[in-house]
Amino acid sequence: MTSATIHTVVDSSVDLSIVIVSYNTKEILLDCLSSVQTHTTTIGYEVIVVDNDSRDGTVASLKKAYPAMRVIENSDNRGFAKAVNQALAVSRGRHILLLNSDTVIRDQALATMVAYVDDHPDVGAVSCKQWTGDGHLNQTCFPFPSIRDHLFYSALFQRIAPSMQAAAAATQAVDCMQSQDVDWANGACLMLRRLLLQELGGLDEGFFMYFEDVDLCQRLRRQGYRVHHLAEVGIVHLIGRSSGRDRDRLQLVWEFSRIHYIEKHFSPVKRRLMKGWIAAGTGWRLMQSMGCASVEQRRRRIQSCLTTIRRLWRGPQSSEQALVYSSGGQG
């Protein structure tokens, strides 16, 4: 695992260190911070924002609106895991909250989560309900990934057997209206014990973005701790607003992270099976990309597919390199 060495001093007066990674999300980030301030009044907390080289004036706006808040300015986009570890290294809270910039806090939700972690020493991480902006409940808790999941949720399976795919998905769905222990919960609003997170070495920086929350929950559970979904409280999560809109690049990062997770947590036999399945799917997408109307879109998708195949064949390489290769530069 590649991760930061984290040496911090805990301040008992700070119950919670809220870590937010930002990349060109100025307006929604300011809304998020305002909601934290309004709805977190009964615990001691600090907010640390790590900005991954935003070009929309995020840092200047933060310094103007919250001059006392700690802001870490990166000169490049270092991804989610590295940015979180930067914040961990300077944080002071007893607990750590990973919070997306496209979220809105409600009704003392964070204080309730802190109280739950304090009252249950065998819980390593706790999540809460996440609602969309128009009032629908997001699916945020899941079983750990398996070969069956990857097959059932593939685009090919959806195309040839949509009703079977829907039935399979229904049997695996976690009821997020009920408080319960889960395999993993997404990192959009995930609270963790700080000492435990330090022992684990923080987030695995082999994940540029995606799957780092799955990996983290996997490691927590292997240490004997529970991951608990707390349905008594909820936040709003405006899904996708914090990750940008370049779907081809995001697909590439997702594939790299999926491959890294498989290499890390699957047995050798299952690893080979999954890599073969990914290669087949990538080959299918490569053939489909030939039909793109736009020459530039076709070029980008072909490069993305070839980069994924190279990753499968040659082994680990940085997701940052993949981004540069697939797009001709960093955006």
Query: Residue ranges of the domains in the chain?
Result: 16-140+176-237, 145-172, 247-327
User: How far is it, in rounded angstroms, from Cα 119 to Cα 142?
Assistant: 24
Could you tell me the two tokens for 30?
């300011």
Q: Flag the least confident range among 16-25, 163-172, 275-284, 322-331.
A: 322-331
Which segments within the chain are labelled E, that is strand?
A: 16-22, 45-52, 70-74, 95-99, 103-104, 123-131, 141-142, 180-181, 184-185, 189-193, 226-237
Instruction: Measure the CA–CA gap between 165 and 189, rounded to whole angstroms.
Output: 28
Rounded-to-integer distance, Cα 84 and Cα 172, Å:
30
pLDDT band at 6 (very low <50, low <70, confident <90, very high): low
pLDDT at residue 329 in the model: 38
The pLDDT confidence band at residue 181, using thresholds 50, 70 and 90, is very high
> Per-residue pLDDT averaged across 223-249, rounded?
85
Q: Which helix (H) or strand (E) holds 272?
A: helix 268-289
Tokens matching residue 133: 């902006």
Cα–Cα distance for residue pair 255/319, rounded to 1 Å: 10
Which range among 118-132, 149-163, 170-184 has the greatest average pLDDT?
118-132
Tens of pLDDT, residue by residue over 7-29, are: 556 777 899 999 999 999 999 99
* C-alpha count within 13 angstroms, C-beta hemisphere, residue 218: 16
Question: Of 239 and 194, which is predicted with more confidence?
Answer: 194
With a threshold of 0.85, does the pTM exceed it?
yes
Q: Report DSSP state, residue 137.
A: B
- CA 135 to chain CA centroid, Å, is 22
Quick one: average pLDDT of 285-296?
78
- Domain range 16-140+176-237, its CATH number among 3.90.550.10, 3.90.79.10, 3.40.640.10, 3.90.25.10: 3.90.550.10
User: Does 310 or 245 have the greater pLDDT score?
Assistant: 310
**Spatial distance between the Cα atoms of 323 and 331, rounded to a whole number of angstroms:** 9
Whether residue 234 contacts residue 308, with contact meaning beta carbons closer than 8 Å, is answered with: no
97 and 38 in contact (C-beta within 8 Å)? no
Buried/exposed code over 128-163 (b: 16+ C-beta within 10 A; e: otherwise): bbbbeeeeeebebbbeebeeeebebebeeeeeeeee
Residue 282 to residue 45: CA distance in whole angstroms: 45
- Round to whole Å and give the CA distance between 284 and 289: 9
Residues in the chain: 331
With cut-offs at 50, 70 and 90, classify the pLDDT of residue 180: very high
DSSP H stretches of helix in 121-266: 147-152, 155-160, 162-172, 194-199, 212-222, 247-265
Q: Which amino acid is at 260?
A: H
Q: Is the pLDDT of residue 227 over 80?
A: yes
Query: Rounded to whole angstroms, what are the CA distances from 260 to 82, 159, 203, 312?
Result: 15, 27, 13, 10
Return the minimum-mean-pLDDT range out of 6-10, 89-93, 225-229, 244-248.
6-10
How high does pLDDT run on average in the chain? 88
pLDDT, tens digit, 9 for 90 and up, residues 33-92: 999 999 999 999 999 999 999 999 999 999 999 999 999 999 999 999 999 999 999 999
**Furthest-apart CA atoms within the chain: distance in Å:** 59
